[in-house]
Structure 1
């Protein structure tokens, strides 16, 4: 399958569309993303969870302009997000259901984070990144992404909620893929609000956990771990991922942190984990792996988000292997999870005697 045929992005296109129409379907992606984003922000999916509604009924409930709402619904329905019934009412589809605030697999926060405010604005400056290497986010806003998050609590909350949405899914999927129950203590490095570690510990009642994060984030983790009923088995460690790694872990987890970092910074984190874990602790890195060739893969586009946002990058299997090797680890295998995630399983390389 060619990249052109397999790429599930942009506007739907027929096999006989001329090249200029096919590329238009890609560059005009805002025609799809922004109506969906507006409907997500308004909470349309939450209302339709109670049953189909006409645009007029929805508009009255939401206090918005009915005709404008109808046009956004029609556009979203044309790509499978919501559906229009013969009587003119709109209902949910599986994709639209993911926009509900309490969806089983929520994606609402991602829809808002990527299409509004700081992260949307930065993409208009991507050419400057290509010219200079400076992240487009810094060009657009004058400060790095994570500093901006610290200064803007509302956007930071949206960002952290979005990260948590996909983490919950990955956490549940890891259980049948890898037997974490064989480890006495799991250390989650930069584990956010603890949903990954907490979900794993729920499945392995004899395993203890350690969560390393910034103090402000650990306050959120206390609540989440209590909700998951594992707080009594988790030790919270405030600190920096490159310096404050506890040495009592049998296995170490790093999820979607290293792709935010340049190679030197990522190497410092991995070396800190290698030193703390000694010669026996396994390492599990949850990240995307960029495949070779021209076929579509989400990692190739997420890499552009990293290019725009910070000094991070997505890496090929060879690049991951080299980075891990420089830190003293040997990459055992790559376990595919829900796209675009994979689990890189590594063990420490013991010094020759």
Structure 2
């Protein structure tokens, strides 16, 4: 490639990344309008605009951009079709991501991301600088935002659950404690696929009152325990699961959670952290972008194996194995045992 062409290609990368926010914005438009829900058959943009209550000319500009990304497809007759990616924007679809797309496009997320410079300058969450409260405290005072957030967490949690369960060899008997497990979708699947295991779901009251554990396959094998994992976790478990928990918190807070697990667990029990494990620098990975979400919004971070080892060792635990999960977002199961 000629030097001039090299320069153009490099500049194109920068410009493409610069306008990336508009791809995200367009995706949010489609999710909020519920476009995918109306594509039970191919439809024109005029039909879609009438059904969603938006301007047809403006919607076409959004949809043709999304079609260039294989999100929807426009045929020669101007009809729009669902694609495999667009299926995840349907509100009633199995493993839908519509709520997650909407949550990431909420004003508080946009503002936090747009003030990332403030987080880099100070080392503290730009969200807290903007809203004068930690993220989860602010959510507690804003029920509408909390409802959207928790709905999105359910969708993100449920996506790839089967792969997680298939990846890890749970014990034949004993008790699985889902620490901060929300509504319990992961624990429900674990219990349904392991008929001789019992389960405990720990979280706050708002999450537990919407739990999904009560199914015929799990009858009499689970209980709820309200509480904060910063204070304690249920005692006597054989497996402690922390899915999307540790990455929300800084090292000191994460170590405190893990110490509580170590205090509660049997000596031969295991702790499972389900989070991204960052690769060597320069390698593409979903976790790099998620790390900036943590930086701008929360006090947590994504970690390398070495960083996980440090907080686990401080909590009296050690890594016994890491199982990559071939699922959405390149997560891993970090298995830890008593040191």
Pairwise same-fold verdict (TM > 0.5): yes
CA-based RMSD of the aligned residues comes to 1.6
Is 2:67 aligned against 1:74?
Answer: no
CA deviations on 1:162-212 (whole Å, 9 max, x unpaired) are 111121123211222112242410011110110111111111111110111
Unmatched tracts of structure 2, length 5 or more:
none
Moved more, 116-125 or 251-260: 116-125
Other-structure match for 2:195: 205
SS in 2 for 1:220: coil
For each residue in 1:136-156, what CA deviation from the matched residue of structure 2 results, as whole angstroms up to 9, or x when unmatched? 111222211111211111111
Q: Does 1:120 align with 2:110?
A: yes
Aligned length: 333
**Unaligned 5+ runs, structure 1:** 1-13
Identify the match of residue 272 of structure 1 among 233, 252, 260: 260
1:303 pairs with one of 275, 280, 291: 291
Q: How far apart, in 1, do the equivalents of 2:163 and 2:336 lie?
A: 19
The one of 314, 324, 331 aligned to 2:312 = 324
How far, CA to CA, are the matches of 1:175 and 1:22 in structure 2?
Answer: 38
For residues 235 and 192 of structure 2, what CA distance do their matches in structure 1 show?
A: 23
User: Which residue of 1 is the match for residue 22 of structure 2?
Assistant: 31
Deviations 1:64-103 (A, max 9, x none): 2111111111111011110001100101111111100122
Q: Shift of residue 218 of structure 1?
A: 1.0
Matched residue, 2:119: 129
Alpha-carbon distance in 2 for matches of 1:297, 1:226: 36
- Paired residue for 1:251? 239
For 1:62 and 1:308, the matched residues in 2 are separated by 33
Alignment equivalent of 1:180, drawn from 151, 160, 170? 170
Do the aligned partners of 2:277 and 2:331 also contact (CA within 8 Å) in 1? yes
8 Å CA contact 2:172, 2:196 repeated in 1: no
Provide the rounded CA distance (Å) in 2 between the counterparts of 1:332 and 1:119.
36
